[in-house]
Amino acid sequence: MLPMLVIARLTVQESSRRRLLLALLILTLIVVGVSAWGFNKITTVTRSDGTPLPPEQVSLITSQLLIVVTFMFSGVLALSAAVVAGPLISGEVESGLLLSMLARPLRRSEVVIGKWLGLAALVAVYAAGAGGLELAAVDWATGYLPPHPVELLLFVAAEGLVLLSLGMLLSTRLSGITAGVIALVAWLMAWIAGVVGDIGTGLQNQALQNVGVVSHLLLPSDGLWRGAIYAMEPDTLIAAMRALGTAGRANPFAAVDPPPIEFLAWVALWFAIVLGASIASFRTREI
Amino acid sequence: MAELAEKTEAASPRGEAAGTPAVKTVELTKRFGHTVALAGLSMTVPRGEVFGFLGPNGAGKTTAVKLLLGLLKPSSGEGWLLGRPVGDLRTRSRIGYLPELFRYQGWLSAAEVLALHCELAPLPRSSWKDEINATLETVGLSDRANDRVGTFSKGMQQRLGLGAALLGEPELVFLDEPTSALDPVGRHDVREIIRGLASRGTAVFLNSHLLSEVEQVCDRVAVVDHGRVIASGTMDELLGGTAVRVRATGLTQADKNRLSGYGRIDDEGEQMTFANLDPDRVPELVASIVSMGGRVYEVAPRHQTLEDRFLQLLEDEERS
């Protein structure tokens, strides 16, 4: 097996043996079960005359609640990725774990890419598995399925990968706790900057709008989150928001347009730049 | 900063460069800011030799090993392992390394850690089972093969690290303080393992400050202090002189200072050891002590130990 894949396998194996996967599985089942119960309650809500809500209204409420639930899910995924990635390299440098391994015919780039691949696989599988389970539970509870479920899961997974990549880059130089905290704060700031950009759109203030654009370029987590929102919104809602003009675009929990293709291309390039920088940083680190 | 050594030029196949030394350095220097960790290390370790690299804590021993393994980048100077420049990727498959800071995956079993190193070495998969079993036997961990490393004591983890360094019959093994966590039985076992490596022609670079350990297994030693080699040679060359241990009472500190004309004194109260003293001068020494009012109970000339020589070298270095 290629050394890079050996490191990737080792990373997955560590998560499994340390019971991280088991903990995530149990927590996910609890959250999905409780949220399915909650979503099911929407269908039992009645109007003042005692009649049940029409299916269109159930779908609208469900879609909005699903956006809130997904925001929390993607947040937990991104934060978990940052916390796990923070000590990914530095933890093993500080403990001495890497000393005997790097004395083998193992390139540092193989360590970096292998660890990224291992954690990226976990993030992607978890996002797909847990997200898919949640969507299936909501569908069972309310009969509502977002219009673009696959795109939704892809955007959520990509947001997790952004935080994973940032945490790992920082981990090549900083201690685990510092790298993790910086990644967490950066994620939060990027989200806030995205909200500022929304406010700028609502107020038609170019400077505020630029804050959102720049933050999406520096850390594309919020831009990807907007893609996830767009994938969850029913067409009728999008049409209604478009009709509102700029005011309809000034909502941090709404997206009127899908992420532009240029942004998605930038995200691909962003991953390449951050991974390249991680390799360059670790190569020159003295151990 | 330039990329740390990770060269991929085609390495010589095993044995092709047998005439080249196991380790060679020329003016290898490492500075951390204003601190000089290693100052112009130039040395050669022939193939098949057990080489002791001695020095007090912080002398630069571990820095030297890390430079040779490409874990640190030299500030200046050059080094070669097995005839190839330091950092050559494929040469590393012929090298074993037990770090001073030894740590292995606590969530793996001992056998799995060794399998991981077999895979990274890389050794042919068909040989792994025999290689792992033999190594576990050598380091005395056969009965713990399937236990998680996280449950091991420090000493057992160091044994495991030693085992990882021995996998695949390397041509050169770096052992950095290999007995720091071991009990006397473990230390004896390590000495036997080093002798076994020497008997099959493996060069061993032994970093240690345990002088008795080095004295018992090394063919040659270099003594390093403050990043510089202050003495090197075979054990015979370094330990040529005689030391004389004297047990006497009734001597003041001033008396002892006057006796230092007979050579460096390792003063332990009533017991004094005169390093590198010509045996013909022993009667004269005893007469001097008696003339100062001292009472002599024991005079024991013996060969100089590495500890005597080591302390003398460090003291000379301090004076200069």
What does the pLDDT look like over B285-310, one tens digit per residue?
999 999 999 999 988 877 767 777 77
Residue of A6, A283, A287 with shortest CB distance to B120: A6
Q: Is the separation of the CB atoms in B205 and B172 below 8 Å?
A: yes
The predicted model gives A100-120 an average pLDDT of: 96
pLDDT of B243 > 60? The answer is yes
Give the mean pLDDT of chain A: 91
Q: How confident is the model at residue B18 (pLDDT cuts 50, 70, 90)?
A: low
Q: A121 to chain B nearest CA, in Å? A: 20
pLDDT of B15 > 50? The answer is no
Residue-level pLDDT at A53: 84
How confident is the model over A55-86, as pLDDT tens digits?
888 888 898 899 999 999 998 898 899 999 99
Hey, are the CB atoms on A100 and B4 less than 8 Å from each other? Answer: no
Mutate to test the interface with A, among B82, B94, B116, B118 (most CBs of A within 10 A): B116
**Which residues of chain A neighbour B101 with C-beta distances below 8 Å?**
95-96, 99
Q: Greater confidence, B219 or A48?
A: B219
Hey, are the CB atoms on B89 and A105 less than 8 Å from each other? Answer: yes
DSSP 8-state code for residue A14: H
Hey, are the CB atoms on B116 and A1 less than 8 Å from each other? Answer: no
The predicted model gives A41-52 an average pLDDT of: 83
Residue B4 corresponds to which amino acid? L
How confident is the model over B178-200, as pLDDT tens digits?
999 999 999 999 999 999 999 99
Backbone angles phi, psi at A22, to 5 degrees: -65, -45
- Number of residues in chain B: 320
pLDDT of A120 > 90? The answer is yes
- Chain A residue with CA closest to B89: the answer is A105
pLDDT of A19 > 50? The answer is yes
Tally of domains in chain A: 1
pLDDT of B238 > 50? The answer is yes
Q: How confident is the model at residue B211 (pLDDT cuts 50, 70, 90)?
A: confident
Query: A207 — contact with chain B (CB < 8 Å)?
Result: no
**Which residues of chain B neighbour A282 with C-beta distances below 8 Å?**
none
Residue A287: which of B228, B39, B103 has the closest Cα? B103
Residue-level pLDDT at A254: 83
Q: Which residues contact A166 (CB under 8 A, 6 or more apart)?
A: A82, A85, A183, A186, A187, A219, A274
Hey, are the CB atoms on B97 and A99 less than 8 Å from each other? Answer: yes
Percent of chain A's residues with pLDDT above 90: 70
Domain of A104? 3-283
Q: How confident is the model at residue B240 (pLDDT cuts 50, 70, 90)?
A: low
Window from B152-161, B236-245, B263-272 with minimum mean pLDDT: B236-245
Residue-level pLDDT at B276: 74
Q: How confident is the model at residue B166 (pLDDT cuts 50, 70, 90)?
A: very high
DSSP character string of chain B = -PPPS-B-SPPPPTTTTTTS-SEEEEEEEEEETTEEEEEEEEEEE-TT-EEEEE--TTSSHHHHHHHHTTSS--SEEEEEETTEETTBTTGGGGEEEE-SS----TTSBHHHHHHHHHHHTT--HHHHHHHHHHHHHHTT-GGGTTSBGGGS-HHHHHHHHHHHHHTT--SEEEEESTTTT--HHHHHHHHHHHHHHHHTT-EEEEEES-HHHHHHH-SEEEEEETTEEEEEEEHHHHT-SEEEEEEEES--HHHHHHHGGGS-EEEETTEEEETT--GGGHHHHHHHHHHTT-EEEEEEEEEPPHHHHHHHHHHHHHH-
The pTM of this model reads 0.85
How confident is the model over A162-199, as pLDDT tens digits?
999 999 999 999 999 999 999 999 999 999 999 999 88
Residue of A13, A18, A104 with shortest CB distance to B117: A104
ipTM of the complex: 0.87
Residue-level pLDDT at B188: 92
Residue of A99, A106, A283 with shortest CB distance to B99: A99
pLDDT of B9 > 60? The answer is no
Q: Is the separation of the CB atoms in A164 and A123 below 8 Å?
A: yes
pLDDT of B312 > 80? The answer is no
Distance (Å) of CA A283 to CA A176, A286, B71, B117, B183: 18, 8, 10, 21, 37
Residue-level pLDDT at B8: 44
Q: How confident is the model at residue A246 (pLDDT cuts 50, 70, 90)?
A: confident
Residue-level pLDDT at B1: 42
How confident is the model over B120-138, as pLDDT tens digits?
999 999 999 999 999 999 9
Residue of A17, A97, A104 with shortest CB distance to B103: A97
Residue-level pLDDT at A113: 97
Mutate to test the interface with A, among B31, B68, B103, B180 (most CBs of A within 10 A): B103
pLDDT of B78 > 80? The answer is yes
Q: Is the separation of the CB atoms in A115 and A168 below 8 Å?
A: yes
Report whether the peptide linkage leading into residue B122 is cis, meaning its omega lies within 30 degrees of zero: yes
Q: How confident is the model at residue B11 (pLDDT cuts 50, 70, 90)?
A: very low
Give the mean pLDDT of chain B: 87
The predicted model gives B80-109 an average pLDDT of: 94
Residue A105: which of B4, B74, B169, B94 has the closest Cα? B94
Q: Is the separation of the CB atoms in A218 and A197 below 8 Å?
A: no
Residue-level pLDDT at B151: 95
Percent of chain B's residues with pLDDT above 70: 93
| Percentages of chain A per state (helix, strand, coil), in multiples of 5 | 80, 0, 20
Hey, are the CB atoms on B121 and A105 less than 8 Å from each other? Answer: yes
Q: How confident is the model at residue A234 (pLDDT cuts 50, 70, 90)?
A: confident
Percent of chain A's residues with pLDDT above 70: 99
pLDDT of B6 > 80? The answer is no
**CB contact burial B186-205 (16+ within 10 A = b; e otherwise):** bbebbbebbeebbeeebbbb
How confident is the model over B30-62, as pLDDT tens digits?
999 888 899 888 889 999 999 999 888 888 899
Residue-level pLDDT at B227: 81
Q: Is the separation of the CB atoms in A85 and A163 below 8 Å?
A: yes
Q: Map out the domains of chain B with their CATH numbers.
A: 23-235 (3.40.50.300), 240-304 (3.30.70)
pLDDT of B119 > 60? The answer is yes
Residue-level pLDDT at A55: 84
Q: Which residues contact A243 (CB under 8 A, 6 or more apart)?
A: none
Hey, are the CB atoms on A284 and B2 less than 8 Å from each other? Answer: yes
